[in-house]
Amino acid sequence: MPHLSVAGSPTRPIGVLGMGSYVPGNVITNEEVAVPAGTTPEWIEQRTGIQARRWAKPDEFTSVLAATAARAAITDADISVSDLSLVLVATSTPDSPQPPTAVAVAAAIGVPPGTPAFDLNAVCSGFVFALATAERMLHGTGGHALVIGVDLYSRILNPADRRTAVLFGDGAGAVVLGPTNGRGVIATRLLTYPDHRDLIRVPAGGSRIPASPESLAQGLHCFTMDGRAVRSFVENHVATVVRDFMDDHCIQSDGNDSPRVHFVPHQANARLIEKLAADLGFPPERTHMTVQRYGNTGAASVPVTLNDATRHLAPRDLVLLAGFGGGMAAGLALLEWEPSK
């Protein structure tokens, strides 16, 4: 029976062995979201850089997107589902409050009974938090972990809220982690700033404000965000912690010599990413973005963008992942890239 015991020390580094991603086929244009939000397509693209996003159809839900990305990652890693010793799903839009969405994913892809599967919620930082968690849990076990970032924000948006309705899309990205001959996951850093926890939230639906006709009528089950304060947080906190992390690991963002360093940030807003990358010294060709096509896909945005970026990565390149979002939180990971094939 598969199991995972956390003990001992690593015999080999843990790295990304395979990747996969999935976005729904339902393309939502700026024209479709602009009118309900009281704005124009031109305003959306000018302010956010987003040209379209994907929203799930009614028969697609979080575990469906996650399982599709998971199957692709397992195939890419050239392992069997029976080789998995852990399934970890990062999401803030689960199928339901209980059971964990990871359990539904495990059932959908045929993970053997007994394999641990659980969810992690760090909102848009979730995938990097989950990656760091799984990497530490695999130390000393020699096993494989399936780590998924997935969100369906289209289900919790208020179409009339210009601050949020135009930004978000749905998607899922997955990686298989396991022992590697390279350096794999070199370092991670996770940070949370609870004094800023109210900048991004869904007020109702939990134990504090249970779902009720009153909460629904007030729209308290919808996603809310203080956009200006979030931008200020990213500029004042995220840029600093990323720069400190880079300094601690002697990363030169603008160097052209091997190993090159690629930047894969959370896809919050193209204009925000452009400024963050410029402040950190990353050139456009090594700052990877998918937000123009897919919008902000929450916990999925980092793995979806990493999967998209693989065609630009060479062996031994370094990849800096930077997740940031609700909590407020920031998650950083430095990887050495090894092609899966």
What structural domains and CATH numbers belong to the chain? 14-181 (3.40.47.10), 186-336 (3.40.47.10)
- Whose tokens are 């600093």? That residue is 240
Residue 321 forms beta bridges with which residues? 264, 333
CB 24 within 8 A of CB 170: yes
Instruction: Please report, for residues 21, 62, 255, 315, the alpha-carbon distance to residue 300 in angstroms, rounded to integers and kept in the order given.
Output: 8, 11, 29, 24
Q: Which residue in the list 124, 196, 262, 269 is annotated as catalytic?
A: 124
Q: Which residue in the list 144, 196, 266, 288 is annotated as catalytic?
A: 266
- Rounded Cα–Cα distance for residues 194 and 121 (Å): 14
Annotation says 30 is catalytic: no
Stretch (H or E) spanning 5: none
Annotation says 266 is catalytic: yes
CB 299 within 8 A of CB 126: yes
Annotation says 296 is catalytic: yes
Q: Which residue in the list 30, 144, 288, 296 is annotated as catalytic?
A: 296
CA 288 to chain centre: 14
- The DSSP annotation for 56-74 comes to --TT--HHHHHHHHHHHHH
Mind listing the pLDDT tens digit of every residue in the chain (341 residues)? 444 544 444 478 999 999 999 999 999 999 999 999 999 999 999 999 999 999 999 999 999 999 999 999 999 999 999 999 999 999 999 999 999 999 999 999 999 999 999 999 999 999 999 999 999 999 877 799 999 999 999 999 999 999 999 999 999 999 999 999 888 999 999 999 999 888 888 888 888 989 899 988 888 888 888 888 888 888 888 999 999 999 999 888 776 666 899 999 999 999 999 999 999 999 999 999 999 999 999 999 999 999 999 999 999 999 999 999 998 999 999 999 987 65
